[in-house]
Chains A and B, each alone.
Chain A
Amino acid sequence: MAVPASQAWTVASYVLKQRLRRRERYPLVLMLEPLLRCNLACAGCGKIQYPPHVLKRALTVQQCLDAVEECGAPIVSIPGGEPLLYPHIGELVDALVARKKYVYLCTNALLLREKLDAGLFTPSKRLSFSVHMDGLREDHDASVCRNGVYDIAVEAIREALRRGFRVTTNTTLFDSSEPLRVREFFDEMMDLGVEGMMVSPGYSYQKAPDQESFLARERTTALFSQVLANKKRRWRFNQSPLFLQFLMGKQAFECTPWGNPLYTIFGWQRPCYLLQDGYAPTFRELMEETPWELYGRDSGNPQCRDCMVHSGYEPTAVHAAFSTWSGFKDAAAAAISGKL
């Protein structure tokens, strides 16, 4: 299993509690962006294109903790921007761990070695560095538009593992991704010793510099079918097998945009991690006043048509495993057999 048993139990008991309370909509992972600034400018990223005075802003630690409390999700993912640029990142992570949250610190790892040397973090079963790796050296460096980043990240991963930290990788695949190279990359990450991998197709951000490499839905399922066909047993994924089956076209899911809510310097983003249709001042307002029927593939919203991104569909997959017999059966079969 790619996720520690205690984390799996926390998530399972949380989802079952929501089911027992008959909550129709509930968050699973809080996406917490304390700042939007980044030390890379990746071609497929549409999250950092703001005026300098906006990029200089950051949430306070208290604002972050208030958002965590308000949301109540058992997992907190800290993307960005680059969270290691956040001056209070050590204090924030410590506070989240103390609150018994499972934390995924999403980083490009350029500063990871430096922060580890500074003693900013303490190994914990509740803290995982989720390192951005979009493929083998040449593919990753092209994706982040800077040569040498792959080697720095690999070195930082080795060092984090050596110090006893949990390390996972997060990978975005684009139209240019070659299945055999992606499979080779999975082997390389497993050889490196990471706990598990997360993979998702890129979302077609309107503000991203490269508008030609995003995947349409049919192309996504074709690519992931090739990448994950005859999945090797040694490949460990830090995500639901049902989500991976969905990417392969083997599961039909609808989006759960409220599953991974995003809190940023602007507030609670409507309706999801990817679309920016406005901001709610409170989590309650986000959940109760967002016209959810306008989003997701079934809504006919063109912005949702090709989206198969983890932030919308992973919560659906997790929910399905606990709410339908077929979902439970498929998830259990994948967990036991290691096949998708």
Chain B
Amino acid sequence: MGLPEIIELAFDYRGDVTIVRTDGAEITGYLFNRREDASGGSVQLFATESGAQVSLPYSAIAAVRFTGRDAARTEHFDSFQQRRSERGGSD
């Protein structure tokens, strides 16, 4: 899988990712945007620790790791339904 495909997965992911830069440095945050353009493309993320908005060109990215919990994989609905049925409709 190439870098653009991995970035697409990271963009769709509702958890934090850790980006390993080509210079070896790492940054962890929520990747909320990506855009490909003539210069090759870039990503935007909100850094977890500092809260800063960071922009990185694809050319500066060596790897992307999915390090945070996926917030979209929630048990809330299932547990509510189960609780509700166990208590005969009362929460």
Inter-chain contact count A-B, CB under 8 Å? Answer: 59
Answer yes or no: A123 CB below 8 A from chain B CBs.
no
Given A49-B71, A50-B14, A147-B91, also A57-B76 (CB < 8 A): no
| Chain A binding surface, main DSSP class | loop
Tally of A interface residues using CB under 8 Å: 24
Residue contact B30 to A209, C-beta cutoff 8 Å: no
A51 neighbours in B (Cβ, 8 Å): 14-16, 30, 48, 68-69, 71
- Choose among B30, B78, B89 the residue that contacts A54 (Cβ–Cβ < 8 A): B30
Q: Which of A19-27, A98-106, A138-146, A303-311 has 4 or more CB atoms under 8 Å from chain B?
A: A138-146
Whether a CB of chain B sits under 8 angstroms from the CB of A210 is yes
Task: Tell whether, in the assembled complex, residue A53 and residue B76 are in contact, meaning their CB atoms are under 8 Å apart.
Answer: no
| Contact of B89 with A138 in the complex, beta carbons under 8 Å | yes
Q: How far is the CA of A142 from the CA of B89 in the complex (A)?
A: 9
* Chain B interfacial residues counted at CB < 8 A: 26
Q: How far is the CA of A267 from the CA of B84 in the complex (A)?
A: 38
The reply to whether the CB of B66 lies closer than 8 angstroms to some CB of chain A is: no
A117-150 toward B: CB 8 Å interface, digit per residue (1/0)? 0000000000000000000001001100111100
A303 to nearest B CB, angstroms? 12
Q: Is the CB of B91 within 8 A of A50?
A: no
User: Could you tell me if A49 and B91 are in contact, using CB atoms closer than 8 angstroms?
Assistant: no
**What would 19 A/B residue contacts be, using CB atoms closer than 8 Å?**
A43-B80, A49-B14, A50-B14, A50-B30, A51-B14, A51-B30, A53-B30, A53-B51, A54-B32, A57-B46, A138-B89, A145-B76, A147-B90, A148-B91, A209-B76, A209-B78, A266-B32, A266-B33, A279-B32
- The 7 A-B pairs with the shortest beta carbon distances in the complex, nearest first, are A209-B77, A147-B91, A207-B72, A49-B72, A49-B71, A145-B80, A43-B77
Point out residues on B near A: beta carbons under 8 Å. Answer: 11, 14-16, 30, 32-35, 44, 46, 48, 51, 68-69, 71-72, 74, 76-78, 80, 84, 89-91
